[in-house]
Amino acid sequence: MVYTEWDQGSVHKIVENQKAFFRTNSTLDVEWRIAQLKRLKAVIRLYEPKILEALSEDLGRHPNEAYFCDVGSTILEINETIRGLKRWAKPETHYSGLLCFPSVLTKVYKMPYGTTLIISPFNFPFILSLGVLAASIAGGNTAVIKASSKSANCTRVLKKMMSDAFPPEYVTVIDGGHDVADMCLEERFDKIFYTGSPRVAKHVMERASVNLTPVALELGGETGNWCIVRKDADLRDAARKIAFFKICNSGQICIDVNQVAVASEVADEFVEELKAEVIRQVGEHPSDNPEYPRLITKAAYEKCALTAERYEDRIVFGGRGVPSERKFDTTIIYPVDINEEIVGRQLFSPLLQVVTYPDAEIDGLLKTISEREHGLALYVFTKDRKWADHVMSTMQFGGGCVNEVCIHMMVKGVPFNGTGHSGMGAYHGEWGFREFTHPQTVLFGKTKFNLPLREHPYSGAKNKYKDKLVRLVER
């Protein structure tokens, strides 16, 4: 792929043109925003074959998986936004309170930030750019999308799609590597939305702090996402769902299961069920299956292979790769101690380590997890609903599931977000609209019957009522 030759001047010109367009107030009209969302949906439909082809070229994704994860999910996100936007954008009306009398009417307007920067990753290059774009459009902003250089074919398609659908002063896709991303971060955007790693997120926040630009971050978390399987769990069901998730996009998913903690009483049985499920879904040698996804770059493949090599004495399934295809088998490493290095970092690969713990010592396991960086997701498998509810309402993480994996992010009307090292801010549906707008409070004053309650003088016999009245109201 040949990238546009970007320099600071050309990036600056794009941002200035978008700021000028925003100042025309064209984006403030809600009906106009809905029309743009419909245009976005239409161009996705039009380019669907090219999107699926690009996802296959970059990530080896089967068309069914590609549609489910990137195309269909984005369309559902846009549909929800179109249906709800008029209601979300309507100014709120509030009673101002006695202290403001006679000015009893206050409104809260949902105002766009202005020109937004969306930095999207390689693993889901369409939904994690266009899904965020839908929220930005809904909020009434313009948008620059800095797309990943790793998923080059997807970026090429994305760039063509957006240039066909929107003028560059409204929506623009910028390609290129980290140097180009830094050029974008040099500019004064009004809102930045970044999806990626905690390490890069720190750099994004540092650059944004220069201009006090508000930032939303969606991150995988430094120590990865935990899945806990209790001894009372339906092991076959748990294995089936975890295997599916580990196979999907070859483990390159921010909410993927990074490590699974299994009660030692059932660990051997669970591992056998997990092996059987991987074989059932993609075969004994997944890398030979044309449906099985590939790792994004040669460097990602080599990192995965090197990690597997270090733990080859405990690989009970997989461990084999095809370098020319950048495919590495879904690999089970068992057993692994909770304090080993591999458990302390996000792998972003098809490697899955199995940590064991005595079921009676579940509280100790939860304490260890809670002392580490917060994950973007937490999954538990158990028949004890009361225990599961307690865990989910006391642990800190982005979102999660009980007796399921991943599909919490498909639920409409709820936020998708992280906390701590797994991110800040939230989006999807109305939460995305909120993320890309700021609430602007305006009180409408009256010119008659104004009381001198808040005005000087406060002293003197005739002004004593002021203190008494304020204390009566403010108590």
Token readout for 308 is 């597997």
User: Which residues 6+ apart lie within 8 Å of 271 measured at CB?
Assistant: 262, 316, 317, 332, 334, 354
Answer whether 227's CB lies under 8 Å from 380's CB: yes
Q: Which has the closest alpha carbon to 243: 140, 160, 334, 350?
A: 350
Answer whether 408's CB lies under 8 Å from 399's CB: yes
- Write the DSSP assignment of 313-358 as a string of letters: GGEEE---EEGGGTEE--EEEEEE-TTSGGGGS---SSEEEEEEE-
Our answer to whether residue 401 is catalytic in this structure is no
* Longest CA span, the chain: 92
Our answer to whether residue 273 is catalytic in this structure is no
Q: Rounding to the nearest 10 degrees, give the CA dihedral for residues 262, 264, 270, 272.
A: 130
User: Beta partners for 320?
Assistant: none
Classify 225 as helix, strand or coil.
Answer: strand
Query: From CA 159, how far away is CA 145, in angstroms rounded?
Result: 9
Half-sphere exposure of 51 (CA within 13 A, CB side): 24
Query: From CA 140, how far away is CA 433, in angstroms rounded?
Result: 9
Residue from 169, 187, 218, 373 carrying the catalytic annotation: 218
Q: Rounding to the nearest 10 degrees, give the CA dihedral for residues 412, 47, 58, 197.
A: -40
Query: From CA 438, how far away is CA 141, in angstroms rounded?
Result: 11
Helix, strand, coil fractions of the chain, as percent rounded to 5: 50, 20, 30
Token readout for 267 is 């660990």
User: Beta partners for 111?
Assistant: 438
Residue from 69, 154, 254, 304 carrying the catalytic annotation: 254
Token readout for 325 is 């295809």
Q: Which residues are tagged catalytic?
A: 218, 254
